[in-house]
Structure 1
């Protein structure tokens, strides 16, 4: 009887396996054309959300018949109530908008052009909402960061490195600063390295009463210039910009406050040391009190100051120190409460990023959250209800869920019970939130919810995409953990072909980024790159990913473990990942490859060279090849300066390990990369030639770090696909 049951079970398994195989064969394979030409897997979203003042509506930017419109949506019903701004009626093809406090005016921007990652300039208009009349700013010249004053009467902006202000009633323009000059002085806008590494572009803020403007001044006179050639004309043009490489001089920064009434500019006291960073300014509830953050050059001490905006006198409120570094991006949630008596901030000082409540003198009132998990975002503080809303990793480092907790740290409750990744946009009155939710198998769903988590209306379901997906043979992203030789547990995923046969031997392509605080192994919907992986899976590859030590969402110690020695532990972990895959019965251990972009290109290069016994092939796109060529803020945060820690810069540079190259190597870079300079690839190529190593390389003329534009993306991924088919 037992033998009979076993035979029946085996037969059922064979039938199920055969049926699954036939079903997979009947479905379409993902092709490069689907991903890059047809946009078959593009998902929809809801853009340009602005919550409106009365708490009953929000506005959203939509495109109808090729024209931008801002529509008003009823929160109770989710239905459109009115068109607030019509691009056709205004005669302006605007791409962004904002309202002033009482919604009597709107600020719109058109003809916007990017400068670097976060900076841009465009033509701005102020629209009078009752009359529909528009007022062009700066005579139609392109300006940056136009911002309405809280009293609705003025607009401040940056033009030609100087700070300006326009009085809307008279259209009179005031030039606040006079010394702005390209590659010398910047007023009210960030320099290249602050923009890239401190995630800021605008560097000015109106006071709460609209009577003052605080701004940061950058003196980059002594910062070395980087020269990037732009190819195309008969004689290639030189593009020179200030880029402080590790160990070199930074811009000298200072904070100033302009008083509209007197016309005076007062400098804030940030101490006598000039080799510092001043990456954040905030107004407290007092219109005469400015707050700012100061970091030392090594970024292992973060100081919060309160300053008298009239006299410049400052007082140290909080000082946080670390043996490694204090990550500003993990401490950038400062919010002053309206009672003027306290503020909320986040810090990873106890080993995990959590929420803290302080009195105005800096003394701790309460650590609001705690535990072996991280608050990834402080969403809002409801002062009337004495509640704090935040997103965290409490369920799993692979997920993001939305929570509410009382200000005293009690009654914590999850507002998003579905497993996956939730990105939240909450109304200022904390009555509603919009949940952008996805998993590895569910495309983004955008849902309007009440503050308690009750859904009101689904704003975007991506039903068309879900139907499209049913017609394709897709591999499932399977999560796993495995221990390394030293006992560290690492998270990973793998995607097997839809018609996976456990008796076959498959080649494996690992995908890596691996930089400090990053995360690739996450239960969320992927983008274009994920579907390129699906196209490879359809060709019979297994695609896999491992988040090495140094990555995020697992606490300070895990993230900071790579400090002063970037590349060492990360490479060990990627090699350990490859060895783990090589032991699987369905993997061909002789055909394991790895690819990555930027930090990932650095990692894939090192992995192939140092792990030449496990990796056969690697692709490095826009890689850092020596940290001596990268910028001060990012590099010195993790490695100190080259003068203090030369071994940290050189021991794990791919250039140092070129003699170990044995496998197939493809090196790709854009010559117009203002971030990770083409110089990185040039020097690695030179070292490989000297070491008599054969490899393949390709450059994209004038393309930046993202390597895109026109036919570029198609060409890039087609080239990488062809290389993998030939070499893996």
Structure 2
């Protein structure tokens, strides 16, 4: 982070392309406001790498580059599990072996995409640290087998098994090739949208491995230009399926780890489908999730020993089945499993099923949502839910027949929970709008036993400086829709004065920005400068039931834009807001929204900032876009009618100052989106500003996360 005293001035550069495309590199600034925001954010304490041990009485955690063991029930300094002196490892992750006598340590990471990375692996065994898998060129996604005999890993699109006793490596697949075939790890779109990179699963006894094979040879090729300060730029090519285009063909295979023999399991006649998760039943039968291309039919299929297959759960909806993940199905025992779904009642709840008998019980019910299954002991299930408010999360437990529900956390705010084996203890992290992270060890009844982190230094600073905090409110639009919102008022707020206001939002389907949890980002610097910051979750956002969320289906950008325009008009009507100084900001889907609002606002906004915006849903990926908008072959109007590209001429550039920001190495929302948006603005003869970050990805990494935020602060102070 640059010190403000070293940045008393900034270079200002502008380049006019044709007569319309203006790149603005910055303006002179007396300070770096975001440096202070970043410093405060860093004081919000977290406890990293929590792993429960098998006995349920101890846990491990990461502390710097050390892995330490603690007892849940007793305070103490803990015990380092690494030898002394410790080599200079940069521990990015770790896994205990099933018998907990060894630790597999991932050291450092070389990013591939958002979740994926290659790394170096070190094995701690018998008190010694030994680098392993050194013959691998780009190892990733390594893990112990359940019997502790092997480590499975991926290298250059193939799977390998490393034998811990013989120290020999067996190659399990041999047809992996970049941009063609992937074994045991996911392709780009599965990684991004199904949130997983590891596409293999062990049988319970560790003798067999199920894995997915992706054939992406027919997926269209995306070429992303890399510059990297070199004399000749080069294209980075990868397979990216855009809405309506070809996906990978995905197959399910099982390999015998002792012999290397492989068998393909049938997954149905449809090749254009998704297999988002695979696994094994507790008694050793493979299962897989099957999701059709439209994503409105979901099945869990179990493979029987002699080739037969049985659908043990099925869900069909008119619009879409909410994104399936590791929380969709949780096994209770050899026969029973829990399903988290919303189609039965319109709210996300838990249902108990039997592999043999089907539906047994609806476990939870009410006009609220289960957001996470924390764990089960076979008699009860522990879960987080929105029962007290859509803005909050609390921990509950209930018997599997739906009786004896208990609330275990009492704070009014937002909890995350890491349970012990056997559900005897919980490590909870709590925050709310005015309270930074508080991490505690709690007993089975939720009673705090001791504090692990309390962000005390941050709490004291925030109190001393009287940091403005979020105030939650609800407002009703002209159409009668009631929306959840928050506002941050400047310190020393005087209702007799008039203040400029910035609307910050994301607005994507199923998302939530208005939540009662502590956060801080660049917008908070504006509150220090006398601005009001406001955020509202419009129609289509999450945790208010299926009906509220799915009404935007097939017309992304229609209702959401109406709601943000309503919020702007509502704020303009407040006596303490200057109606001539309203701005809007968003990133990614929020960038799509900020652009759309700026163009359709008819001068309502004095300033708009769109970072990494989607400008046509035809440019975005299959899984995300099609689940919410259907395929463009069947809903062309939903793709084109609400694309900012198609109403660029509506920008009132005399009253609305527009800044578009994008990284050229954005593998998620491609720079193409901004190029085509600027092409449309140029043709319409509109003036706008633009900031380009060479070789930065969707998060403006690896170098520009702070710079882009300071740029947005500067731009807002200058133009709003």
Unmatched tracts of structure 2, length 5 or more? 1-30
Query: Equivalent residue for 1:33?
Result: 35
Range moving further from structure 2, 661-670 or 139-148: 139-148
| The one of 135, 145, 151 aligned to 2:141 | 145
Query: Equivalent residue for 1:636?
Result: 626
Range moving further from structure 2, 197-206 or 355-364: 355-364
Query: Equivalent residue for 1:559?
Result: 549
Could you say what secondary structure the match of 1:48 adopts?
strand
Could you say what secondary structure the match of 1:667 adopts?
strand
Q: What displacement does 1:153 show?
A: 0.8
Given the alignment of the two structures, is residue 694 of structure 1 paired with residue 687 of structure 2, yes or no? yes
Displaced runs of 4 or more, over 6 A: none
| The one of 474, 491, 498 aligned to 2:491 | 498
Unmatched tracts of structure 1, length 5 or more? 1-28
- Superimposed CA distance per residue, residues 608-642 of structure 1 (whole angstroms, 9 cap, x where no aligned partner): 11122422211000000000000000000011111
Given the alignment of the two structures, is residue 722 of structure 1 paired with residue 714 of structure 2, yes or no? yes
- 8 A Cα contact 1:447 1:459, kept in partner: yes
Q: 2:664 and 2:278 mapped to 1: Cα distance?
A: 35
Q: What displacement does 1:496 show?
A: 0.6
Q: 1:364 and 1:344 mapped to 2: Cα distance?
A: 10
Given the alignment of the two structures, is residue 207 of structure 1 paired with residue 203 of structure 2, yes or no? yes
- 8 A Cα contact 1:604 1:620, kept in partner: yes
Q: 1:87 and 1:235 mapped to 2: Cα distance?
A: 47
- 8 A Cα contact 2:83 2:128, kept in partner: no
Given the alignment of the two structures, is residue 344 of structure 1 paired with residue 338 of structure 2, yes or no? yes
Aligned residue pair count:
685
Query: Equivalent residue for 2:283?
Result: 286
Q: What displacement does 1:675 show?
A: 0.1
| The one of 305, 308, 314 aligned to 1:313 | 308
Query: Equivalent residue for 1:534?
Result: 524
- 8 A Cα contact 1:658 1:688, kept in partner: yes
- Superimposed CA distance per residue, residues 213-272 of structure 1 (whole angstroms, 9 cap, x where no aligned partner): 000000000000000010121110110000000010000001111012443211111111
Given the alignment of the two structures, is residue 459 of structure 1 paired with residue 452 of structure 2, yes or no? yes
For 1:80-119, list aligned pairs within 5 A.
80-86=77-83, 88-90=85-87, 92-119=89-116
Q: 2:609 and 2:478 mapped to 1: Cα distance?
A: 26
Query: Equivalent residue for 1:15?
Result: none
**CA-atom RMSD, angstroms?**
1.6
| The one of 322, 327, 344 aligned to 2:322 | 327
Q: What displacement does 1:203 show?
A: 0.3
| The one of 380, 398, 401 aligned to 2:375 | 380
Could you say what secondary structure the match of 2:423 adopts?
coil
| The one of 431, 438, 442 aligned to 1:445 | 438
Q: 2:426 and 2:463 mapped to 1: Cα distance?
A: 30
Query: Equivalent residue for 1:56?
Result: 57
Q: What displacement does 1:40 show?
A: 6.4
Q: What displacement does 1:206 show?
A: 1.0
Does the C-alpha gap of structure 1 residues 93 and 547 become closer, same or farther in structure 2, counting only changes over 3 Å? closer
Q: 1:496 and 1:56 mapped to 2: Cα distance?
A: 46
Q: What displacement does 1:88 show?
A: 3.8
Query: Equivalent residue for 2:9?
Result: none
Q: 2:635 and 2:337 mapped to 1: Cα distance?
A: 37
Query: Equivalent residue for 2:397?
Result: 404
For 1:118-137, list aligned pairs within 5 A.
118-128=115-125, 130-134=126-130, 136-137=132-133
Q: 2:132 and 2:639 mapped to 1: Cα distance?
A: 50
Given the alignment of the two structures, is residue 221 of structure 1 paired with residue 217 of structure 2, yes or no? yes
- 8 A Cα contact 1:87 1:94, kept in partner: no
- 8 A Cα contact 1:124 1:140, kept in partner: no
- 8 A Cα contact 1:285 1:337, kept in partner: no
Q: 1:189 and 1:362 mapped to 2: Cα distance?
A: 34
Does the C-alpha gap of structure 1 residues 622 and 571 become closer, same or farther in structure 2, counting only changes over 3 Å? same
| The one of 250, 254, 261 aligned to 1:253 | 250
Q: 2:444 and 2:324 mapped to 1: Cα distance?
A: 27
Given the alignment of the two structures, is residue 481 of structure 1 paired with residue 474 of structure 2, yes or no? yes
